[in-house]
Amino acid sequence: MGEVRGDNARGGWVGRAITRVRDVDGRVWLHGLAGLFTAGLGVVICVTGSSPRVGLERWCSDHYSHTGTAVLFWERGLQVYRRPVGAQCRRPQRGREWRLRRDLARRWDVNPRDLCFRTSTSGMGKGTDAAPETLPLVINWQRFPRPYPPGVMLYFLPEALLWEHTGASFRTLNRVTIVKLLVVGHLAWVVLVLLMAGFQPRGWAWVVMAVGYSQLIYWSLVGIYDGVAVGFVLLCMLALQRGRGTLAVGAISAACFLHFRALWYLPLLVPGILLVIHKREVRSRTPKLGIPNPAVLVGGLVLLLTSAYVFWILWPALKSFPLRNPVDYRKLAVGSPVFMSFVVPTLGVVLVMAWRRLWLGLGLVVWMTYFFLRTPQIMSWHVLFLLPILALPSLTLPAPELGKDRHMDQAFAVLVWYFVSAAVVFQTNLWPAWIASVVRRIGLG
């Protein structure tokens, strides 16, 4: 006994701490280390760099443009969808405002053409004439109405209020935005990890989680808000996996309310509604939240109808956007390199899913391909909306009559389609080269 007590004494609190660390679940380590890394990136991006834009890449102007649009929306309402943004701004007057425009563009490191001097109000709901000293908003693509659903106005409302009522600097506002995007992007990744928990083989799950973290965090650092809507799409898939139809319907509705490209995953609404009907969820409450399910369903319907109404208003203007889509159906010739590198692999994926009776995956791939072919503009950062397709196999349970490897057939098919679409449609490199940009930002490279 004396020797045992002596060993324990020699080990002391260090030995007990090591034992406790060894007993910690691996998933806790994963979330902890990833959270620390994300927090470190947030600190680096906020305290380094000379540009008030703050974001990792200087080409991105979306984050502060959404803030400016949110301010304009609360002043102009649906006019931001009916008329070009530039038509709702006034040209700066010669003299003081002209010099202010030039000086602010240089100080904020923005394009002078993105500055918007307001015409009738100097603040959200103030209703007074704009004074010459009123700071302009910064909004890109002023030749067009804003092609985003109302959810983006709500998401950037805190920054809009800070801009209008606190006198926060342009740099401070962008820091707030980037930190928000990082937090939301990390939460979306946590949902992805929950979605892939228990998926076999584990190697596949680790690949999906690694790609998901890289994509969600990188685009958040840049200033792209798409990860917010992607997080709700992933939440919809997690709800379907766990048999919660009401939550699935609410999540996909919220995703569409935040970003129109979430319409790519609208077919997920069908299994969600079927679950609600089959399990009679209308008569119960959402687990843990305690919200009546009818309220969630009605709220989801309101969000979808609101997004559909705004999309209907925008439809004529969307046709005037410049064509920037390598797989647009109007220029896709049979036998062309783009046809052979995208359409042919997509047909192969469709055939595999039809052969294995993977109807949900088949429906999603066909639906998304239709959007790819018909959308006038597809930018590199829209590749983020491809991410949920990688987690699709987690919704497929192996059926004995169809073979135990059925879900792996789907996993391989969506992996091929993901990388083909990323390279051909979105023309982006999935390799995490952004880490080098972070290193250069710190000054180590």
CB distance 342 to 421 below 8 Å: yes
Q: Is the pLDDT of residue 200 over 80?
A: no
Residue range 285-291: mean pLDDT, rounded: 58
- For the stretch 96-139, pLDDT in tens is 778 888 899 999 999 999 999 887 544 444 433 344 346 789 99
Give mean pLDDT, residues 164-179: 92
Higher pLDDT pick, 26 / 410:
410
pLDDT, position 133: 43
Residue 111: CA atoms inside 13 Å, Cβ hemisphere, count? 13
236: closest CA among 199, 268, 283, 203?
A: 268
Provide the H-helix boundaries in 109-225. 151-155, 157-165, 170-196, 202-222
* Nearest CA-CA partner of 216 in 412, 381, 42: 381
pLDDT higher at 213 or 124: 213
Q: With bands split at pLDDT 50, 70 and 90, how would you rate the model's confidence at 290?
A: low
327 backbone φψ class: left, alpha, beta (φ>0; ψ -120 to 50): alpha
What's the mean per-residue pLDDT of the chain? Answer: 84
Return the top range by mean pLDDT from 102-111, 250-259, 272-281.
250-259
pLDDT band of 5, cuts 50, 70, 90: very low
Q: What is the pLDDT of residues 20-44, one digit of tens each?
A: 434 444 566 677 788 888 888 888 8
- List CB contacts of 247: < 8 A, sequence separation 6 or more: 235, 236, 239, 286, 296
- Distance between CA atoms of 335 and 68, rounded to whole angstroms? 45
Q: How many CA atoms does the CB half-sphere of 422 hold within 13 Å? A: 20
